[in-house]
Amino acid sequence: MRIGQHRPSVDEHAALMRSLLVFERRTETVALDEALGRITARAVTSPVDLPLFRNSQMDGFAVRASDIAAVPAKLPIVGEIPARPGQPAPLAPGTAVRIMTGAVVPDGADAVVPVEDTTVVDGVAVIETPRVVGEYVRDRGSDLRAGDELLPAATVLRSRHLAALAAAGIASVEVLAPVRVAVITTGAELAAPGVDPQPGQVYDANAIAIVSAVRAAGASVVISARVTDDHDTFRAALAAATDAADLVITSGGISMGDYEVVREVLEPLGATVTTIAMQPGGPQATAVIDGVPVISFPGNPVSTQISVEMFVAPVLRELAGLPAARRQSRVLDTDVRSVPGKRQLLRGRAVGEDGVTVVGGPSSHLVAGLAASDLLIDIPEATVQLRKGDTVETLAL
Ligand SMILES: Nc1nc2c(c(=O)[nH]1)N[C@H]1C(S)=C(S)[C@@H](COP(=O)(O)OP(=O)(O)OC[C@H]3O[C@@H](n4cnc5c(N)ncnc54)[C@H](O)[C@@H]3O)O[C@H]1N2
Ligand code: MOO
């Protein structure tokens, strides 16, 4: 932050992010087996009546209700209708036909008597209780009519929705395509995990951090590139990224030193590079390049991870129909000091139902400390000192 420059609050920066992370949603058609958790792109109407045909709700006898108005009624059993393909013959007046649950109710029949409510004597069904018309008969279209809306647009598909689609004979569904994200980590010092590091190299933790956080938030990763501090190399990676993705996320190279490749390339292209009132994750940059939002996070791994959690994951989760991360008030088990004028996100662990303990220090290189924590302790900008027993807001990781 230059002297005199406004330092945006976390909420202001989150609002800016939200205004940038607006995507034209593409759609795709997926098989029901692939559709769990996806969001319907448009309303789905049923191509058929549900139930598809008039069928029995019970194992028993299909009859005419008028034939058993006077009881006991004695109706000769003229056959059997299992739940099988085919249209049964109409039921003649004064007769009963054995019928199974789900089987087609024959024309002429208008009620079903459960088997346990009948006795059979010499091929004759003896029925002691009259039945009203329609009893234990599931009418065609009584659930839904062909052409009626089965699911509205923007339904997050759960198993009950998929079951209804399948019941209507629908094999695939048009859903919103995931937001496509490109990730670029920058820094001449970065080495891929798995190789022997040269002196001065660090392993790239941010690529997998961003890629996995974005995936967990329901978006898809189309590019993950690791580039050095060279301008042309970064420009080339950026061009490929804006070409293939709806959103580009970079890490590193945005603070005040030399070799800040992201800042140096993006600032002349109109990027806003700023320091927000948050720790970790102070330095932040945003740009729109070729119509694609480019969000740049600071290189320190904890800063990057917390920035993704605070600014990108909430929007992506919302777009993917996933629930927001849980916020909860918890009681501190220790005293805590905070930095005045910065919203501090300390790493913590839940203790019991409503307690919380601090894990490790506040510095933004402490990756093991972040891995050992299961929530962030969200300390407001104005707070400098908290005491054991004070209540704090926490954000589940
Ligand atoms: N004079 C100032 N120096 C710094 C300031 C400042 O305000 N004035 N801010 C500090 C803060 S806070 C942060 S955060 C960092 C942000 O710096 P950059 O975004 O330019 O990030 P780098 O310098 O490229 O890297 C910082 C740090 O993180 C390591 N790193 C980078 N990328 C990765 C990665 N993919 N995986 C693991 N570690 C990574 C890098 O090696 C550095 O140690 O600036 C401070 N400086
Ligand atoms: O704000 Mo930096 O992101 O803490 O180390």
Give a yes or no: residue 3 inside a domain: no
pLDDT of 134 over the 60 cut: yes
Ligand 2 atom 4, closest CA: 280
- Counting ligand 2 atoms within 8 A of each CB, the residue from 1, 275, 300 with the most, and so the one to mutate, is 300
Q: Which atom of ligand 1 is nearest to the CA of 279?
A: 12
Shared domain for 160 and 222, answered yes or no, is no
Confidence of residue 6 (pLDDT cuts 50, 70, 90): confident
**Are residue 78 and residue 122 in the same domain, yes or no?**
yes
For residues 125 and 134, what is the distance between their CA atoms, to the nearest angstrom? 19
- What confidence score (pLDDT) does residue 257 get? 85
Mean pLDDT over residues 256-275, rounded?
A: 94
**5 in a domain, yes or no?**
no
**Boundary residue ending a domain (158, 176, 194):** 176
Instruction: Give a yes or no: residue 293 inside a domain.
Output: yes
Owning domain of residue 289: 10-26+178-320
Same domain, 42 and 64: no
| Nearest CA-CA partner of 298 in 325, 324, 278 | 278
What pLDDT, on a 0 to 100 scale, did the predictor assign at position 1?
47
Give the CATH number of the domain where residue 315 resides: 3.40.980.10
70 and 204 in a common domain = no
123 lies in the same domain as 233 = no
pLDDT score, position 256: 85
Q: Does the CB atom of residue 305 touch ligand 2 within 6 A?
A: no
SS3 of the chain = CCCCCCCCCHHHHHHHHHHHCCCCCCEEEEEHHHCCCCEECCCEECCCCECCCCEECCCEEEECHHHHCCCCEEEEEEEEECCCCCCCCCCCCCCEEEECCCCECCCCCCEEEEHHHEEEECCEEEECCCCCCCCCEECCCCCECCCCEEECCCCECCHHHHHHHHHCCCCEEEEECCCEEEEEEECCCEECCCCCCCCCCEECCHHHHHHHHHHHCCCEEEEEEEECCCHHHHHHHHHHHHHHCCEEEEECCCCCCCCCHHHHHHHHHCCEEEECCEECCCEEEEEEECCEEEEEECCCHHHHHHHHHHHHHHHHHHHHCCCCCCEEEEEECCCEECCCCCEEEEEEEEECCCEEEECCCCCCCCHHHHHCCCEEEEECCCCCEECCCCEEEEEEC
Asked if 298 and 219 sit in the same domain, the reply is yes
In this prediction, residue 111 has a pLDDT band, given cuts at 50, 70 and 90, of: very high
Task: Encode pLDDT of 273-296 as tens digits.
Answer: 999 999 999 999 999 999 999 999
Closest residue to atom 5 of ligand 2, CA basis: 364
Nearest to 266 by CA among 239, 304, 240, 243: 239
For the CA of 206, the nearest ligand: 1
Q: In this structure, how many other beta carbons lie within 10 angstroms of the beta carbon of residue 378?
A: 17
Ligand 2 within 6 A of CB of 206: no
Residues 70/53, Cβ–Cβ less than 8 Å: no
Inside any domain, residue 33: yes
Residue 1 domain flag = no
> What values do phi and psi take at 268, rounded to 5?
-65, -20
CB of 60 sitting under 6 A from ligand 2:
no
Q: Would the CB of 300 count as within 6 Å of ligand 2? A: yes
Residue 370 sits in a domain of what CATH number? 2.40.340.10
- Per-residue pLDDT tens for 334-356? 999 998 999 999 999 999 999 99
Residue 183 lies in a domain: yes
Distance of CA 375 to the CA centre of its chain: 20
Interface predicted TM-score of the whole assembly (ipTM), two decimals: 0.98
**218 ligand 2 Cβ < 6 A:** no
| Mean pLDDT value across residues 102-114 | 98
**Structural domains of the chain, count:** 4
- Is 4 domain-assigned? no
For residue 128, give Cα distances in angstroms to 74, 131, 305. 9, 10, 73
Q: Are residues 303 and 365 in the same domain?
A: no
Does the CB atom of residue 187 touch ligand 2 within 6 A? no
CA–CA dist 130, 369 (Å, integer): 74
Q: Residue 163's domain is classified under what CATH number?
A: 3.90.105.10
CB atoms within 10 A of CB 31: 9
Residues 125 and 252 in one domain: no
pLDDT for the residue numbered 3: 53
Query: How, if at all, do strands 247-251 and 180-186 pair?
Result: parallel
Measured by CA distance, the residue closest to atom 5 of ligand 1 is: 255
Task: Specify the CATH number for the domain of residue 95.
Answer: 2.170.190.11
Residue bearing tokens 């980590």: 185
Contacts of 292 (CB under 8 A, 6+ apart): 241, 242, 245, 246, 247, 248
Mean pLDDT, rounded, of the chain = 96
Q: Domain boundary at 289, 320, 351, which?
A: 320
304, 320, 336 - which closes a domain: 320
Based on the fold, state whether residues 270 and 257 are members of the same structural domain: yes
In a domain, 119, yes or no: yes
Using the predicted structure, report yes or no on whether residue 2 has a pLDDT greater than 90.
no
Indicate whether 127 and 188 sit together in one domain. Answer: no
User: Do 248 and 262 have their domain in common?
Assistant: yes
Tokens 């400390």 -> residue: 369
Can you give the pLDDT at residue 4? Answer: 55
Same domain, 227 and 310: yes
Q: Which atom of ligand 1 lies nearest, measured to the CA of 1? A: 7
